[in-house]
């Protein structure tokens, strides 16, 4: 019996956030063939070229891969990025890596995609090489929203910098969440009557603007209403930012576990209180506001 061989469709890019623009590329790839392959780079090139850069990544590698699979990727190749790789001419990378190792029948890239030495690789180069008959190139124009603005990772970061979770979610097409290991804290929240699951953000991972957010904590497949503080807790003069989540109606040990915290809406900015009782009163109000918002 003859087995039908599905064409191999390759999408290339960083795919940070896996936002609606990325999803549109995956949809077009799936319209050609269900065998969709992703070629991305790890670490993100920005980290190699500018290691002192401020945190900017929307997703960890694992989160990005999970999202890419959710939206249709069958295979994911995460190519190690280095200065040596950046010095390889684009045509050589296409020949030695893409053609010889991945062996795609089709390649999809965004119109602004660039790669290789001096960023000399672009859709035109791929189109020229595809004329040799070894693959077909598809150039995807920017996907725009109802405001005539293109979906992009930079727009996600800009929305997060304002704490605008609604806009962030709209651009992403899925909730924004922080997923990190729960670490041991100073127990101040517990002493005030609001125990928290504390998470330190991994290097280069972006945080939204500091403040208090209505949120959901995902534990063992169940979604719990919660209230999350992101920041440095100015009342206690903490140096490094933390993500602290008070989970409503939950009493369990989460230390050492990987916790997903989905941010829903910012309630207020971070503030400094001179008296502990004032802070406790405000946390009580924050939790009440979060409950009401999440219930509505």
Taking a C-beta distance cutoff of 8 angstroms, is the pair 140, 161 a contact?
no
User: What's the number of CA atoms in the CB half-sphere (13 Å) around residue 207?
Assistant: 22
- Intra-chain end-to-end CA distance of the chain, in Å: 57
**DSSP-derived secondary structure letter, 31:** H
Burial class (CB in 10 A: 0-12, 13-18, 19+), 66: middle
Annotated catalytic residue 270:
no
Q: What 3-state DSSP class applies to 219?
A: strand
**DSSP-derived secondary structure letter, 192:** T
Per-residue three-class SS string for 106-165: EEEEECCCCECHHHCECHHHHHHHHCCCCCEEEEECCCECCCCCECCHHHHHHHHHCCCH
Q: Which of 27, 52, 191, 244 is catalytic?
A: 244
Taking a C-beta distance cutoff of 8 angstroms, is the pair 32, 74 a contact?
no
User: What's the number of CA atoms in the CB half-sphere (13 Å) around residue 200?
Assistant: 10
d(CA 39, CA 100): 14
Could you list the active site residues? 244
């Amino acid at each position: 019996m003859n087995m039908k061989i599905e064409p191999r469709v390759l999408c290339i890019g960083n795919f940070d956030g896996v936002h609606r623009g990325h999803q549109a590329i995956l949809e077009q790839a799936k319209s050609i063939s269900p065998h969709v392959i992703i070629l991305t780079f790890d670490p993100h090139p920005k980290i190699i070229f500018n290691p002192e850069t401020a945190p900017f990544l929307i997703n960890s590698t694992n989160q990005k891969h999970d999202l890419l699979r959710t939206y249709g990727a069958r295979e994911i190749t995460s190519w190690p990025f280095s200065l040596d790789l950046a010095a390889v001419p684009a045509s050589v990378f296409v020949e030695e890596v893409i053609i010889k190792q991945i062996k795609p029948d089709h390649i999809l890239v965004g119109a602004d995609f660039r790669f290789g030495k001096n960023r000399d690789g672009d859709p035109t180069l791929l189109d020229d090489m595809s004329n040799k008959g070894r693959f077909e190139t598809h150039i995807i124009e920017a996907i725009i929203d109802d405001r005539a603005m293109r979906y992009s990772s930079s727009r996600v970061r800009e929305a997060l910098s304002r704490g605008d979770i609604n806009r962030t979610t709209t651009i992403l097409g899925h909730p924004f969440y922080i997923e990190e290991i729960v670490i041991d804290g100073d127990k101040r929240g517990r002493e005030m009557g609001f125990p928290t699951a504390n998470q330190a953000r991994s290097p280069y991972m972006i945080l939204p603007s500091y403040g208090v957010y209505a949120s959901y904590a995902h534990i063992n497949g169940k979604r719990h209403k919660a209230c999350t503080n992101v920041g440095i807790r100015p009342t206690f003069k903490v140096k490094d930012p933390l993500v602290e989540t008070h989970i409503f109606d939950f009493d369990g040990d989460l230390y050492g576990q990987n916790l997903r915290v989905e941010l829903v809406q910012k309630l207020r900015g971070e503030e400094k209180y001179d008296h502990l009782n004032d802070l406790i009163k405000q946390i009580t109000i924050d939790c009440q506001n979060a409950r009401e918002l999440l219930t509505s």
